[in-house]
Amino acid sequence: MKITANVLIGVAMVSLSLCPTAARSGARVFGSATLQIEVTGVRNGKGVVHVDLCREAEFLKDCPVQASAPALAGKTIVTISNVQPGTYAVQAFHDENHNGKVDRALFGIPKEGVGFSNDAPIRLGPPKWKDAQFQLGDDKGITFKLRYFIGGGAKN
């Protein structure tokens, strides 16, 4: 069987579109979108604001699509490109000490700011998927606020 260049290109395009890490590659994938995430309530410019873009099965776990930006007091914008259309939720935290995780106090209370798409409520535990989910088709921007449970929030 003779394989043409067009067949190989087609297979490569399908493989890229199914790969969750394609969002981190920098190359635009056909049928993909850019998600701009505006995180408000950032209390200082220390560390980074880290975001995870999650499907339902990954929500509140380790999501394969991640990005971060240097923290800016008040508002930080994080952009994720090459995202396939679908239903997602974003979970974010202010990694003030740049250690790659949410630091926790007694009883698991976050020491660093945390937030979720749609400003999904945090009531005696993490938010529900249905409260944080949104549809992504074309390029989109979302905004939500970080919440700090220890040490206060943004001073603006």
Residue range 52-89, pLDDT digits in tens? 999 999 999 989 999 999 999 999 999 999 999 999 99
CATH code for position 88:
2.60.40.10
**Alpha-carbon dihedral of residues 54, 98, 150, 134, nearest 10 degrees?**
-20
The confidence score (pLDDT) of residue 30 equals: 62
Residue 33 falls inside a structural domain: yes
Q: Residue ranges of the chain with pLDDT lower than 70?
A: 1-30, 155-156
The confidence score (pLDDT) of residue 122 equals: 93
The confidence score (pLDDT) of residue 129 equals: 98
Residue 94 falls inside a structural domain: yes
Residue 152 falls inside a structural domain: no
Residue 20 falls inside a structural domain: yes
> Number of structural domains, the chain?
1
Per residue, the 3-state secondary structure of the chain, as one string, reads: CCCCHHHHHHHHHHHHHHCHHHHHCCCCCCCCEEEEEEEEEECCCCCEEEEEEECHHHCCCCCCEEEEEECCCEEEEEEEEEECCEEEEEEEEEECCCCCCCCECHHHCECCCEEEHHHCCCCCCCCCHHHHCEEECCCEEEEEECECCCCCCCCC
The confidence score (pLDDT) of residue 91 equals: 98
Residue 153 falls inside a structural domain: no
CA distance 130 to 120: 9
Residue 117 falls inside a structural domain: yes
Look up the domain containing 133 and give its range.
5-145
Residue 68 falls inside a structural domain: yes
Answer for the pair 48, 93: CB distance below 8 angstroms, yes or no: no
The confidence score (pLDDT) of residue 17 equals: 34
Residue 50 falls inside a structural domain: yes
CA distance 51 to 39: 9
